[in-house]
A and B are shown apart, each in its own frame.
Chain A
Amino acid sequence: MNRSRQAIRGQTHLWVVQRVTAMLLAVAVTVHLVTIIGAVRGGLSATEILGRLQGHEGWLIFYVVFALAAGLHGAIGLRAIAAETIGLRGRGADLAWLAAGLATAAFGIRAAIGLYA
């Protein structure tokens, strides 16, 4: 496989990741919005949030998947904006965006574990 074919394959894979995460986010964001609108009724409190999340594996798995999808989806979106506005393109930039997405996701997963433990 030559270099340009490989580059096109990489770009296609990034797009596929963008759409697969979009499908996950479609469900996750709907749940998130309903949760937010329910939770803010009568004010937010740390006890209420921790009471919902601490020790609940279901919510932990939900938020881990959510954070991973959101981190990757956001980074791939920013990649398109950077390419089209400031002309930032290429394999190096793509790898940097992927790393930024995974780092953001890791940050979110760390928070999800913090709220679970």
Chain B
Amino acid sequence: MDLRTRSHPTWIAFLVHRVSGLLLALFLPLHFWALGTAIEGEARLEGFLRWADNPLVKAAETILVVLLAAHLAGGLRVMALEFLGWRRRQKDMVAASAGLALLAGLLFLLNVV
């Protein structure tokens, strides 16, 4: 792939949106499976949550929070373009979405540690 034609902010925003969407879609069934353990009782859910205290899991969770926030913010930008016709200042909106995603990740980290 020729990156000389794919370096503008809205293209990078597309790439982030696609990669985050792909990873979130693959994570979703796992997430539902983990929550489903609650059906087997509080002890089973508690056991899962204690396993999730592992720092590696916390790191993965932080990445997921950033991906989710990035997909949300990027999606809002696309829908503003599609439904409200906000064609101006696309680059600023890309930057704002990135800021929002990183802020969500930071807040999560500050609260989880």
Contact = CB atoms under 8 A, between A and B. Distances in A.
A29 B72 contact: yes
A29 B76 CA distance: 12
Given A26-B76, A33-B69, A71-B28, A81 B49 contact: no
A67 interface: yes
Interface in B1-60: 18, 21-22, 24-25, 28-29, 31-33, 35-36, 38-39, 42-43, 45-46, 49, 52-53
Interface of A: 19, 22-23, 25-26, 29-30, 32-33, 36-38, 40-41, 43-47, 49-50, 67, 70-71, 74-75, 77-78, 81, 104, 107-108, 110-112, 114-115
Q: What is the interface of chain A mostly: helix, strand, loop, or mixed?
A: helix
For the complex of A and B, the 8 pairs showing the least CB-CB separation, nearest first, are A114-B39, A74-B25, A111-B35, A46-B46, A46-B45, A108-B32, A111-B36, A107-B32
**Chain B interface SS verdict (over half):** helix
B33 A26 contact: no
A46 B42 contact: yes
A115 B35 CA distance: 8
Given A33-B65, A43-B53, A111-B39, 17 more contacts: A19-B82, A22-B75, A22-B79, A25-B75, A26-B72, A26-B75, A33-B68, A33-B72, A37-B104, A40-B112, A45-B49, A49-B45, A50-B38, A78-B25, A81-B21, A108-B28, A115-B35
